[in-house]
A and B are shown apart, each in its own frame.
Chain A
Amino acid sequence: MSQGIGVVGVYVHDQEEALQFYVEKLGFRVHTDVKNGDYRWLTVQHPDQPSVQLGLFRPQAPVLDEATAQSARELVAKGAMPPLVLTVDDCRGAYDRMLAGGVEFTQEPIDRFGTVDAGFRDPSGNGWKMIQARRSK
């Protein structure tokens, strides 16, 4: 596929902390990690999904003015950013593994709508739903 979404970004409180979380706890891989002065372009990707990158960006000057950057950091920390969804083959298995690894879950796996879903947050406050993929018919 040559057209489609390439990078979707989330704001994070601390890029180093986010990098460790997404790589070590979720099993993502680093795609791009480039620094330019204070600015760091950092993207990761799911190993099964090489066409999509998740950007881990810090709201900061001079891209944003300092007051706006502060507002963005507050919104992230308050869990006010839009929902994210991670699709997995086995929600309960992933839950057990991630919980043991210290991931902060906000909802245990629940059977719902014919599948299983759980909820967790990244260290910054971004909320993920983890939904078990429906068996293909």
Chain B
Amino acid sequence: MATGQDPELLRRLLRAKDRMDAASHEEWPVLRLARVSGVSEAHFARSFKDAFGVPPHRYLLTRRIERATAMLRDTDLPIIEIAFQTGWNSLGTFGRTFRDVTGETPRALRARAQAARQALEPVPGCIVAAAHRPDLTMAVSEKKRQDTDPNIDSTEREVP
């Protein structure tokens, strides 16, 4: 849906969003973002929210949490190190914010993600792949049943 914003302004706002994406661990006060976009500090936050649906600071927060989540899952770095690398100045603030946003502490998320990974490690790759193969037999029989019974609502039954 068109917001009626000038495409040239939007292009400059995109530049600020790109810069946050490229360096979400850095500090991005409104003044700095406004300069990237070449708009006044007063207009930046409102224009950004109109364009991208969230205020700039919240957008930055989502990118930091996303990056921290990936690092918790994919690395063995200490949590405090992940907090610093993703832009927080204290472990306490990181932990609180992370829990507020995701509903889980960084430690709990890491434990869950790594357990899920380890559970599959002893299983040969081909078996893991097979386990994730779609259950075609059931789906086909279900489909057949639907074809013969018009009373079954397909939108309810067509579950992958």
A residues lining the B interface (CB < 8 Å): 13, 67, 70-71, 73-74, 76-79, 104, 106-108, 121, 123-125
Contacts and interface: CB of A to CB of B under 8 A. Distances in A.
A32 B90 CA distance: 57
* Chain B interface residue number, banded: 10 to 19
Interface of B: 1-5, 7-8, 10-11, 13-15, 17-18, 21-22, 51-52
A13 B22 contact: no
Contacts of A124: 11
Given A106-B21, A106-B22, A13 B11 contact: yes
B84 to A, nearest CB: 20
A74 B22 contact: no
Contacts of A67: 2
A13 B18 contact: no
A22 to B, nearest CB: 17
A66 B51 CA distance: 19
A77 B7 contact: yes
B22 A78 contact: no
Given A67-B2, A73-B7, 17 more contacts: A13-B11, A70-B2, A74-B2, A74-B10, A77-B7, A77-B10, A77-B11, A78-B14, A78-B51, A78-B52, A79-B17, A104-B15, A107-B22, A108-B22, A121-B14, A121-B18, A125-B11
26 contacts: A13-B7, A13-B11, A67-B2, A70-B4, A71-B1, A71-B2, A73-B7, A74-B2, A74-B3, A77-B8, A77-B14, A78-B10, A78-B51, A78-B52, A79-B17, A79-B18, A106-B18, A106-B21, A106-B22, A107-B21, A121-B14, A121-B18, A123-B11, A125-B10, A125-B11, A125-B14
